[in-house]
């Protein structure tokens, strides 16, 4: 394209002020693809030094930069009589209404949101350059006072600048709203797919449970019939093998139960309410005392707080932890199991369960909360290795953390965090 005198016009010059080299080069490449001549400054101070020689038709500046940020760069450009007609586009996340006020105060001409779409940015640039022709010098310098967030602001930008900035802010709000609507649509679609997957998983779990249990019942039933058969010619060794088969089928049945329970913990709906931990612990201890009748176990329960959580799930937490404490203190003639509050962590109450049992080596502590992870042989202590994995899953669903401390043959301590029930001073418990 030629001008009226037949010469070829030079490309429009744009100066980019951006401290991120990657983003600056990406933007530069995009602008050059659309025929613009581009220079890059790593911050606002360097941009101010480059402007007199480069003489850009437009400045595009990131807001957050070292030394001189985007707002200060725009302010200095607009205060300089030789530069004030150069339009400035600020690239920002615009996460705060104060951004608009600061943009008005520094005289910026337009906002572009990060992350930006290339076509949208080019459209903004063309709009600003086209409107530059309508900028009237006498329009600049009119002062406007306004109050925002209980603070007075003095705006000296021209009317066209104010209008363009407000229009770009409105345009940005529309763009954000479209993005939000799109995200909400995707979220609804994902939720629908998740519900379908959960239904399929529940159906699969039921099917697996039923299909696995049927042969187990047959194995267990026929094994018991064979063991009770008075005409059986099994030798003592054969009867020992039969006992092993019966016990293995029982363990497999328990493993299926534990796996199904573990699976439910990740899908079950949370029913949060105020939970009195002392009552939950007391109920769990009474159940375990019946199962460990005749043992010498000293239960020491310290003051426990009310917390916010799912009561049924928290009962499962204590059932697993206290059940483990009872099991692993079996070699102790006088077992001691303590349940207490152990301070706070990041605004959450820390609950501890300690015992004087066999403990474990801390180098294997990372395995404790994994599915099927056991630190003791099955012939020493029974179990499927799922209990602590369930504890961690439940506490994570409550937004808390779990960890353990121990020494081999010197007992163990398990910790977890929960959200405390916050009460007003003077509120009765």
Yes or no: say if 112 and 14 are a contact pair by the CB < 8 Å rule. no
Evaluate whether residue 33 is within a structural domain. yes
User: pLDDT at position 57, please?
Assistant: 93
Evaluate whether residue 98 is within a structural domain. yes
Provide the residue-wise pLDDT of the chain in tens; the chain has 429 residues: 455 555 456 789 999 999 988 889 989 999 999 999 999 999 999 999 999 999 999 999 998 888 899 999 998 998 898 998 899 988 877 656 566 677 777 878 887 877 777 887 888 888 888 877 555 444 444 555 554 455 555 555 555 556 655 666 666 666 667 777 877 888 888 878 777 766 666 666 666 666 677 777 778 788 878 777 776 777 888 878 888 787 777 767 766 776 676 666 666 678 889 999 999 999 899 888 877 888 899 999 999 999 999 998 899 899 889 988 988 898 888 899 999 999 999 899 999 999 999 888 788 777 777 765 666 555 556 656 677 888 898 899 999 999 999 888 888 999 999 999 874 333 434
Tokens for 326, please give them: 């009872």
Residue ending a domain, among 109, 124, 157, is: 157
Q: Which residues form the domain of 99? A: 13-157
CATH code of 350's domain: 3.30.565.10
Tokens for 110, please give them: 């337009």
User: pLDDT at position 353, please?
Assistant: 95
Tokens for 127, please give them: 């709009």
Evaluate whether residue 417 is within a structural domain. yes
Residue ending a domain, among 115, 137, 157, is: 157
Evaluate whether residue 234 is within a structural domain. no
User: pLDDT at position 226, please?
Assistant: 79
Evaluate whether residue 429 is within a structural domain. yes
Evaluate whether residue 184 is within a structural domain. no
Q: Rounded to 5 degrees, what are φ and ψ at 308? A: -100, 120
CATH code of 47's domain: 3.40.50.2300
User: pLDDT at position 128, please?
Assistant: 83
Yes or no: say if 402 and 414 are a contact pair by the CB < 8 Å rule. yes
Evaluate whether residue 359 is within a structural domain. yes
Residue ending a domain, among 157, 188, 223, is: 157
Q: Are residue 292 and residue 420 in the same domain, yes or no? A: yes
Q: Are residue 288 and residue 423 in the same domain, yes or no? A: yes
Q: Are residue 274 and residue 149 in the same domain, yes or no? A: no
* Structural domains counted in the chain: 2
Q: Are residue 144 and residue 278 in the same domain, yes or no? A: no
CA distances from 266 to 15, 126, 201, 272, 390 (A): 53, 52, 11, 15, 9
Evaluate whether residue 175 is within a structural domain. no
Q: Are residue 278 and residue 422 in the same domain, yes or no? A: yes
Q: pTM above the 0.75 mark?
A: no
Cα–Cα distance, 425 to 10 (Å, whole number): 74
Yes or no: say if 417 and 350 are a contact pair by the CB < 8 Å rule. yes
CA distances from 106 to 73, 109, 186, 232, 404 (A): 8, 9, 38, 99, 56
Q: At what angle do helices 311-328 and 387-397 cross, to 10 degrees?
A: 150
């Amino acid at each position: 394209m030629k001008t009226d005198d037949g010469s070829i016009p030079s490309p429009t010059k744009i100066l980019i002020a951006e401290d991120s080299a990657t983003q600056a080069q990406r933007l530069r490449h995009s602008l050059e693809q659309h025929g613009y001549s581009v220079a890059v400054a790593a911050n606002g101070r360097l941009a101010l030094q480059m402007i007199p020689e480069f003489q850009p038709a437009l400045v595009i500046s990131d807001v957050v930069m070292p030394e001189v940020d985007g707002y200060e760069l725009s302010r200095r450009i607009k205060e300089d009589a030789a530069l004030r007609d150069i339009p400035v586009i600020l690239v920002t996340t615009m996460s705060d209404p104060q951004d608009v006020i600061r943009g008005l105060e520094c005289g910026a001409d337009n906002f572009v949101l990060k992350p930006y779409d290339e076509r949208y940015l080019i459209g903004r640039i063309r709009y600003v350059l086209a409107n530059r022709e309508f900028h009237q010098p006498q329009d600049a310098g009119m002062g406007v006072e306004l109050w925002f967030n209980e603070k007075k602001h003095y705006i000296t930008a021209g009317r066209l600048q104010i209008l363009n900035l407000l229009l770009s802010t409105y345009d940005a709000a529309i763009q954000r709203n479209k993005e939000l609507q799109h995200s909400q649509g995707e979220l609804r679609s994902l939720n629908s797919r998740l519900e379908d997957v959960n239904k399929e998983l529940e159906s699969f779990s039921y099917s697996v449970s039923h299909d696995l249990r049927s042969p187990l019942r047959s194995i267990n039933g026929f094994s018991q019939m064979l063991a009770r058969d008075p005409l059986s010619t099994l030798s003592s060794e054969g009867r020992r093998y039969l006992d092993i088969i019966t016990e293995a089928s029982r363990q497999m049945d328990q493993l299926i139960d534990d796996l199904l329970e573990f699976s439910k913990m990740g899908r079950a709906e949370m029913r949060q309410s105020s939970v009195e931990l002392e009552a939950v612990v007391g109920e769990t201890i009474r159940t375990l005392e019946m199962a460990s009748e005749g043992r010498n176990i000293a239960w020491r329960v310290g003051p426990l707080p009310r917390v916010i959580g799912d009561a049924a799930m928290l009962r499962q937490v204590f059932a697993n932890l206290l059940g483990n404490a009872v099991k692993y203190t079996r070699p102790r003639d006088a077992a001691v199991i303590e349940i207490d509050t152990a301070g706070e962590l990041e605004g959450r109450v820390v609950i501890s369960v300690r015992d004087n049992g066999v403990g474990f080596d801390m180098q294997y502590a990372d395995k404790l909360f994994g599915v099927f992870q056991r630190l003791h042989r099955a012939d020493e202590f029974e179990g499927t290795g799922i209990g602590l994995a369930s504890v961690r899953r439940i506490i994570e669903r409550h937004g808390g953390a779990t960890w353990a401390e121990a020494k081999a043959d010197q007992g163990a301590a398990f910790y977890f965090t929960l959200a405390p029930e916050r009460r007003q001073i003077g509120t009765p418990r």
